[in-house]
Amino acid sequence: YHFEDDDVYGQSVEDDYCISPSTAAQFIYSRRDKPATFAQPLEEEYGYEGTDDPADYFTSNHQLTEVDRGKTRDCQSARMESEIVPKITKMTVSGKKQSMGFEVPCVIAEENGHANTPQKGLLTEDASVASGVLEAVSKSTLSPQAVQVLEEQSTVPTPVKKSSKTKPQIDVKAELEKRQGGKQLLNLVVIGHVDAGKSTLMGHLLYLLGNVNKRTMHKYEQESKKAGKASFAYAWVLDETGEERERGVTMDVGMTKFETKTKVITLMDAPGHKDFIPNMITGAAQADVAILVVDASRGEFEAGFETGGQTREHGLLVRSLGVTQLAVAVNKMDQVNWQQERFQEIISKLGQFLKQAGFKDSDVAYIPTSGLGGDNLVTRSQSSDLTQWYKGKCLLEQIDSFKPPQRSVDKPFRLCVADVFKDQGSGFCVTGKIEAGYIQVGERLLAMPPNETCTAKGITLHDEPVDWAAAGDHVSLTLTGMDIIKINVGCVFCDPKEPVKVCTRFRARVLIFNIEVPITKGFPVLLHYQTVSEPATIRRLLSVLHKSTGEVTKKKPKFLTKGQNALIELQTQRPVALELYKDFKELGRFMLRYSGSTIAAGVVTEVQHFCNGLSIL
């Protein structure tokens, strides 16, 4: 009979002295409540000297089933460990009775006169109770269940840990109120035309706030000088990859955290280059408020603002994605000697455009700054050229005065995956912003569209492990019970009881931006929704709507042109998880792009062709 490693539960004990299998028996087995079939051999201390195979002794006296015979072999494998055990688990006996991890049916060990009942879920029905102090357990040779028993019951007074299912539920709403009594959380995205100075502005702000130490900053200055990009030193705080530094262009959304007097800010530095607008949409979709950075230099502002520039497109995008509060940082003002005329000229041009985009004048603030010089970022500028005409807030004060939006904590849990990566140890991690609801460690989650369930083993908020997180938090979840291959960026994790809708066809109300080619039936577009970028086709043009009242002005139009408001039907190539705008505002918005430019923004009004059972191939 060949013994596998996995079959061997009993192991030898080595320290200053050794215990033979016969002596070990008295530590392990109680003579109470034993079934008749096992009573005889155990009383006689494995009385099978005359037989070659210990299991043959049992079979000769008692007709055992194959399963019982297997268990018998396991129980006596300690006797034969010199021949068959390649790995030995070291344990120390400290004068108390100790379990060796045997799996014995219906045997209950007695400790100090008290009978311990087997814990359900530890070793199924067969449990033996460990009470010795473990010094070094080689976990590789024990099954996870056996390790759990040994660890959880290593000392007698310690109560057995409750499983996550019986873990007391945290009153998240009460905890959230407590947390909001402190500093409120706010997600901020920095947007603007390429080379407007977004990364430099925010990198310098972080340095002045003390989030970047002087030594690191000095290293960046030296390295950027060597690379011939001395003025990029502060941008390197947020542009961390080699390619971004080499090209001098932000490519991915850089994320970091800083604090003001009343807020904890999650900062997202979005790329300005039009090639990376999909990444910028991902950042903007997770934001509550935005800073629009414009370059005050002559010719530069005009380049960003006129047709083809990113200032307009970014402004439209953030408004379409639900951002209502905006701070406009008029950057590089030191290059125009802090001229009030230039500042006013920029305000008048931008103000008119932002009003058309849907921003209220009261929700937009304009701040003159210098990202490289650090003027008017953290403290009000002392420059006489500026103070003689500008008496307003500095950038940090403006960020601090933003109002945090209402969070959808009462709604079912929703989290859009922004990134997936393998973690150390078991499971994997996903990051993203919780759009609605809340989550606690140990809860079951459903991932859509793959339609797979998993368990949240851990939650990390701002690099600190927490027991719970709620809507608005940027978290990293450690998940188990699911294959990492099935999860993509753009998947939505939700409450299994109230899953997110999954479909390939849906109806939406859209606003057409400035487009050169009219939109017709069958028009191919790229659907940008939260962190998803999915090819889609406009299947039907249902009706043209009145801009303000929403009434139907024309049914079944042949085409759509710029500025029109319309109801259309879209079909995606693969299933996407989305919600109706009326149910979840955050999850009901999307953008449509075509050949490198944004052509429309829309909200989901109706979902057709449910395919909850489908998984993405």
User: pLDDT, tens digit, for every residue of 553-580?
Assistant: 999 999 999 889 999 999 999 999 989 9
Identify which has the larger pLDDT, 257 or 24: 257
pLDDT at res. 597: 84
Residue 376 predicted with pLDDT over 60: yes
pLDDT at res. 276: 82
- Cα–Cα distance, 42 to 517 (Å, whole number): 88
Identify which has the larger pLDDT, 610 or 197: 197
Residue 249 predicted with pLDDT over 90: no
Identify which has the larger pLDDT, 503 or 102: 503
pLDDT at res. 74: 56
Q: What is the mean pLDDT of the chain?
A: 75
Identify which has the larger pLDDT, 48 or 312: 312
pLDDT band at 396 (very low <50, low <70, confident <90, very high): very high
Residue 287 predicted with pLDDT over 80: yes
Burial pattern 244-260, b for ≥16 Cβ within 10 A else e, equals bbeebbbebbbbbebeb
Residue 135 predicted with pLDDT over 80: no
List CB contacts of 438: < 8 A, sequence separation 6 or more. 172, 176, 409, 413, 468, 469, 470, 471
Looking at this protein, which amino acid is placed at residue 567? L
pLDDT band at 44 (very low <50, low <70, confident <90, very high): very low
Q: Taking Cα atoms as reference points, which of 447, 444, 458, 459 lies closest to residue 492?
A: 447
Q: Give the mean pLDDT of 124-136.
A: 36
Residue 2 predicted with pLDDT over 60: no
pLDDT band at 34 (very low <50, low <70, confident <90, very high): very low
- Cα–Cα distance, 325 to 364 (Å, whole number): 6
Beta bridge partners of 262: none
Residue 452 predicted with pLDDT over 50: yes
Residue with tokens 């109230």: 498
| Whole-prediction pTM | 0.66
- Cα–Cα distance, 522 to 417 (Å, whole number): 30
Residue 47 predicted with pLDDT over 50: no
pLDDT at res. 223: 87
Q: Give the mean pLDDT of 495-517.
A: 91
pLDDT band at 64 (very low <50, low <70, confident <90, very high): low
pLDDT at res. 180: 60
pLDDT at res. 68: 63
pLDDT at res. 343: 93
Residue 9 predicted with pLDDT over 60: no
Residue 53 predicted with pLDDT over 70: no
pLDDT band at 37 (very low <50, low <70, confident <90, very high): very low
Question: Cα 253 from chain centroid?
Answer: 15
The CB density around residue 529, as the number of other CB atoms within 10 Å, is 25
138-148: per-residue pLDDT in tens?
Answer: 434 344 444 34
pLDDT at res. 76: 52
Q: Give the mean pLDDT of 523-544.
A: 92
- Cα–Cα distance, 512 to 377 (Å, whole number): 37
Residue 29 predicted with pLDDT over 70: no
Cα end-to-end distance, the chain, whole Å: 45
Give SS3 for 222: helix
Contact in structure between 522 and 562 (CB atoms under 8 Å): no
List CB contacts of 236: < 8 A, sequence separation 6 or more. 203, 220, 223, 224, 245
pLDDT at res. 556: 92
Q: Give the mean pLDDT of 421-427.
A: 80
- Cα–Cα distance, 209 to 234 (Å, whole number): 13
pLDDT at res. 330: 93
